[in-house]
Structure 1
Amino acid sequence: MSEKNNLKERFITSALALPITLAALFFSTKPYFEPIFVLIMAIIAIVSLDEFFKLAEKKGMKPLSALAKACTLGFMMSLFLAYRYPFLQALPWVVLLTSFILGFLYFFFEGKDPIQNLSATVFGFIYIALPLSLILLILYQSKLFGEEGRAWLLYLLTVVKMTDIAAYFGGKNFGKTKLSPLISPKKTWEGAIIGFSASLASSVLFLFLIKLLNIPFSLSFFGSLILGALLCIFSQISDLSESLLKRDAAVKDSSQLPGLGGFLDIIDSLIFPLPILYIWMQLFIFNGNSL
């Protein structure tokens, strides 16, 4: 497929996905829709996990796919229940411990190569399911501290996606110096720098607009520059990291969504920024010290 046709498919798919994403985010804090939103996030994580495990299988590994998917669903649901019912605060840890023990028990009785297959299973969960689970914590913990979690997630999506778009077109039109030729030959330093500039601009602009709307969003101008820069840097590292895994497995896309590859290709640039945003909120929002 030509690059022009690929770009057209990407635009059409993104145009269809955008209103769905915004609608799900808008209703995500409505009591009747909260469990549905959690389920949607779990499905996205499970599909992305499945795509990762297919990469691992191309390397001869046999991860415990069913266990990891069940753990992902149970962990996300338990995080939500812990938010709804404080006496269930330990439930997410119970789910993780139970899943971990079940992984070992499986190899007590059958299965080969427990080190590499357990490693692939646990890595898949940590790499994909754990960061995506932070969406729920950002969204629902924020309510407990008077913040609008939906605004924080929209901020994250805006900065990361503007970084992606600017880096893509900047590299396409001005790129000369390869950023990481062994991993992603098309990515350039020029594109990365343009993406960085776009992330700072979008971060500041988002802050300006959100303040005009008087939405609870505790971020200063100085903080928006620092956080915008961090999210940009880690989104590009996150993107390259998924490219590294695909190159090792000798595949182009994690799946075959028109113009976008797979779910893992869609969320790849969010995997590292999500923990960065959550850590930022733990340091400067949830303890009452805004920056």
Structure 2
Amino acid sequence: MKQRIVTGLLFGVFFIGLLIVGGPLYSSLVLLMSIIGLFEYSRMNKLSWSNPIHIISIVALLAFVFPYEHYGMIWITDQTIIWLLMFILFAFTVLSKNKHTIDEVAVGFLGTVYIGIGFASMIDVRLLEENGLWWSILAFCVIWSSDIGAYFFGRAFGKHKLWPLISPNKTIEGAIGGVVSSVIVAVIFALFAPDLIEIWRAIVIGVVAAVAGQFGDLIQSAYKRVRGIKDMGNIMPGHGGIIDRTDSWIIVFPILVLTQLIPV
């Protein structure tokens, strides 16, 4: 537990520090995290690092996460990257005469889109010309408050299992506590900055972030249960890998952006 707390605090201070600084330093950190995350994902799915499918996925990931639009290259869109990645991977199965199968292609494609858009959304929010830091802090705070609320409500009141076949420790009471905590934090942000966010939007953000974040956690629990592993990696002692710590982030940020709850 001590190791977990120390590691969490060190990473948290470092991450929040670069989040506040923003710019290339924050973007570079998020880009590095996404690369490590894809390596963890590929290893979990038994795609070796030298596998051409993995290499193609890494290149596509860089295209996803690097903030081209902030440097005037608006023609490089997610739709373009997704289609090109799909075509190149399919073409590779043909050129390799099915040595690299459709199953490998599916794993590589899914992981690249899942991780790439997730981390890219974090950069997009932070690089907003107006109040990017404020919106980023709001998003992270509602995510973290949901996690904390779910943990403590679950410990105190948890009696009914939420999804025992996927994550046996999660409870319905904990899930509700996570939603309540997230909404409270979002409303506090609205009360302190009514010119930036209305109360109704804050409530919706709190609910969406809590529900989506818990699904992000369950998605990884389901994956790891199928693969028979406890953690995606060990880069953070006591916490596991990058994806273990960011599984809710890479689901919540894209949803908040795609729904325009955060005006990117």
Question: Taking structure 2 as the reference length, what is the TM-score of the superposition?
Answer: 0.89
* C-alpha distance in 2 between matches for 1:81 and 1:130: 13
Match of 2:114 in 1: 127
Give the gaps of 5 or more residues in structure 1.
Answer: 29-33, 212-216, 287-291
Classify 1:208/1:36 alpha carbon distance in 2 versus 1 (closer, same or farther; 3 Å): same
Structure 1 residues 189 and 97: CA distance shift in structure 2, 3 A? closer
The size of the alignment, in residue pairs, is 258
The DSSP-based 3-state class of the residue aligned with 1:187 is: strand
Give the Cα–Cα distance (whole angstroms) in 1 for the partners of residues 230 and 151 of structure 2.
Answer: 17
Paired residue for 2:90?
Answer: 104
Cα deviation for residue 206 of structure 1 reads 2.5
Aligned with 2:255 (options 264, 271, 276): 276
Aligned-pair RMSD on alpha carbons? 2.2
Write the distance in 1 (CA, Å) between the matches of 2:262 and 2:41: 33
Amino acid aligned to 1:197: V
Q: Which amino acid aligns with 1:221?
A: I
- Say yes or no: does 1:66 pair with 2:55: yes
> 1:284 Cα shift?
7.3
SS at match of 1:258: coil
1:56 and 1:63 in contact (8 A); partners too: no
- 1:137 deviation in Å? 2.1
Q: Does 1:90 align with 2:69?
A: no
- The alignment-based identity, stated in percent, is 27
Contact 1:218 1:285 in 2 (8 A): no
C-alpha deviation, 1:133, in angstroms: 0.8
- Which residue in the other structure is 1:14 paired with? 8
TM-score of the pair, normalised by structure 1 = 0.81
Summarize the alignment of residues 1-291 of structure 1 with structure 2, pairs less than 5 Å apart: 5=1, 8-28=2-22, 34-57=23-46, 64-77=53-66, 80-85=67-72, 88-92=73-77, 95-110=81-96, 112-140=99-127, 142-143=128-129, 147-210=130-193, 218-256=196-234, 257-281=236-260, 285=263
Alpha-carbon distance in 2 for matches of 1:265, 1:70: 23
Which SS does the other structure have where 1:255 is aligned? Answer: coil
For 1:108 and 1:222, the matched residues in 2 are separated by 51
> CA shift at 1:56, angstroms?
1.3
Q: Secondary structure at the match of 2:162?
A: strand
SS in 1 for 2:170: strand
Q: Which whole-Å CA distance do the structure 2 matches of 1:81 and 1:113 have between them?
A: 31
CA gap 1:73/1:36 in 2 versus in 1, 3 angstroms: farther
Kindly state the Cα deviation for residue 222 of structure 1 after the two structures are TM-superposed: 1.6
Q: How many Å apart are 1:280 and its aligned residue?
A: 3.4
Q: Amino acid of the residue matched to residue 57 of structure 2?
A: A
Per-residue Cα deviation, 1:58-80 (whole angstroms, up to 9, x for no partner): 8xxx7811111121113322xx2
Structure 2 contact 18–25 (Cα < 8 Å) conserved: no
